[in-house]
Amino acid sequence: MALTIKEVEHVAMLARLTLSDDEKLKFGEQLSSILNYADSLNVLETDDVEPLTHILPVHNVFRTDEAKPGMPREQILSNAPQAEEGQYKVPKIM
């Protein structure tokens, strides 16, 4: 199958990636060829196969809910592109 430009735009929106028109064409072709390759899985009968989501036999690893000291705020904010009054700053939302 080949992805349409509309589908590429939709998936780029889901992925929060701005694409140029050239990129839409290029990625559209490349993603189509990878998906065609993935279609080779369809020859396998898997109706009765349990999906393998996690390789280890562990479920819900819990720990006791104890308060512990966290990292200092300045340290956490030290990599922020923009911060003010101990908080992350982003463009206006509303």
Report the alpha-carbon distance of residue 42 to residue 44 in Å, rounded.
5
Smallest gap from Cβ 46 to other proteins, in A, equals 4
67, 78, 84, 86: which one binds other proteins (CB under 8 A): 78
* Burial class, 40, CB count within 10 angstroms (exposed 0-12 / middle 13-18 / buried 19+): exposed
Q: Which of residues 41-60 bind other proteins (CB under 8 A)?
A: 41-42, 44, 46, 49-56, 58
SS3 87: strand
Using CB atoms within 10 A of its CB, is residue 70 exposed (0-12), middle (13-18) or buried (19+)? exposed
Among 21, 66, 68, 75, binds other proteins (CB under 8 A): 75
Q: Does 2 bind other proteins (CB under 8 A)?
A: no
Q: Is 64 in the site for other proteins (CB under 8 A)?
A: no
Return d(Cα 68, Cα 79) in angstroms, integer.
23
Number of residues that bind other proteins (CB under 8 A): 50
51 or 69, CB closer to other proteins?
A: 51
Residue 67 binds other proteins, judged by CB under 8 A: no
